[in-house]
Amino acid sequence: MINPNSPLGIFDSGVGGLSVLRAIRQELPAESVLYFADQGHVPYGPRSRGEVRAFSEGITRFLLGFGAKLIVVACNTASAAALHYLRQTFPDVFIVGMEPAVKPAAEHTQTGVVGVLATPATFQGALYASVVERFANGVTLLQDTCPGLVAQIEAGNLDAPETRAILETALRPMLEKGIDTIVLGCTHYPFVIPLIQKIVGAKVRVIDPAPAVARQVERLLEADERWNTSFGPALPALAVRPESAVEGSGTLRFFTSGKPDELANLLPQFLGESGPVEAVIWDSGGVSLSLRLG
Ligand code: DGL
C-alpha cells in the first residue's frame, strides 16, 4: 500500500528524464516529485551494465529514503540494465521503466521501415531484443546510437549546428531507406524533436514514449487506490487522492550528482518550471548517496 501524499521518485542520468517528468506534470499535476539527475555519471549509454545497475540501485534507495511511493526509471539505458533487477531487489515498490516504442511504430508504419534512436547499452540489452522479437512483426528497424547527442542535449544545445550534424548523420541514411516513423529510445531525445522534424519533414512520425509512461504511472496509482479502497486495511485517510489533486499543486524537488547551478539553469528551458536543486555525492564505490550539505 502506498501513501498518496508521498512524492513520485524519477531518475535519469541527466536531463533526459525531464521529458518524462514533463508528461507526468501534464497527466498528474497534483503529484509531488523528487527528480534525480545522475549528472556526475552522464552519459550512461557507453557504460557497462553492471555499473549502470549499481547506480540505479543506489539512486532508487536514495529516493525511497526520501519517501518516494513509486519509482520511474526515466531512462532507457538504466531500464535496459536494471529494471528487472530493481523489481527483484525492491519487490514491494511500484517501478515503472522505459522500453523503445517499437510496438506503436510497427503498427503505424506504412513503408515498413522504422528508425530507432537509442544508446549502445539500450540496443545491447535483453529488453530491446525482447521488444523487437515481440512487436517488430516483419518491420525493418534501422538503428543508430547518435554518438555525442546526449552530451549536446545536456549542454542545452537543442538547435546547435553540432546537434544538427549528429542527427543528420543518423537520419539521412534512414530517410534514403524509406523510414516513415522514428522511435525515440532515449529520454534525452524528445528535446530535439523540433530539430528532428526539420530534418525529416512533417510526414515522418516521431514517437515520444513519455505520455504513455505518464499514463502507466496514473494507472498504477489508481489501481493501488482501488485495491486499498476495496480490500486494504481501514485507513481511509490514505485511500483518497491528496487534497492538491483538485488544485494541481504538486511540488518539485531536484537532486543532482553534478553541478546544481547548471541543472537549475536548464530547468526553465527543459521543463518550463523549476524547483530547489540539491547536490548529492556518491561514495567512492558509486554505491550509496548522501546530500552534500552547505
Ligand atoms: N536518457 C537516457 C536514456 O534514456 C540516458 C542517456 C545516457 O546517459 O547515455 O537512455
pLDDT in tens, 144-184: 999 999 999 999 999 999 999 999 999 999 999 999 999 99
Res 110 pLDDT > 50: yes
Residue 28 dihedral angles phi and psi, to the nearest 5°: -135, 65
In whole numbers, what is the pLDDT of the chain averaged over residues? 92
Most informative mutation of 51, 117, 188, 191 for ligand 1 (most atoms within 8 A of CB): 188
Q: Work out the average pLDDT over 48-61.
A: 96
177 Cα to the center of ligand 1, angstroms: 26
Neighbouring-strand partners of residue 253: 34
- DSSP letters for 117-179: E--HHHHHSHHHHHHHHHH-TT-EEEEE--TTHHHHHHTT-SS-HHHHHHHHHHHHHHHHTT-
Res 116 pLDDT > 50: yes
Most informative mutation of 116, 119, 123, 270 for ligand 1 (most atoms within 8 A of CB): 119
Would the CB of 75 count as within 6 Å of ligand 1? yes
Would the CB of 185 count as within 6 Å of ligand 1? no
Confidence of residue 281 (pLDDT cuts 50, 70, 90): very high
- pLDDT above 70 covers a percentage of the chain that reads 91
Res 245 pLDDT > 50: no
CATH for 102-207?
A: 3.40.50.1860
Res 27 pLDDT > 90: yes
Q: How far is CA 2 from CA 41, 224, 232, 236, in A?
A: 31, 7, 11, 12
Task: Give the pLDDT of residue 118.
Answer: 97
Would the CB of 11 count as within 6 Å of ligand 1? no
Cell numbers placing 201: 519533414
Nearest ligand 1 atom, CA 44: 8
13 Cα to the center of ligand 1, angstroms: 6
244 Cα to the center of ligand 1, angstroms: 32
Would the CB of 181 count as within 6 Å of ligand 1? no
Most informative mutation of 13, 36, 149, 207 for ligand 1 (most atoms within 8 A of CB): 13
Task: Give the pLDDT of residue 244.
Answer: 43
Residue range(s) in the chain whose domain bears CATH number 3.40.50.1860 = 8-98+210-291, 102-207
Q: Work out the average pLDDT over 220-231.
A: 76
Task: Give the pLDDT of residue 179.
Answer: 98
Tally of residues, the chain? 294
CATH 3.40.50.1860 matches 8-98+210-291: yes
Q: Work out the average pLDDT over 118-144.
A: 96
Nearest of 242, 213, 211, 209 to residue 225 by alpha carbon = 242
Res 236 pLDDT > 70: no
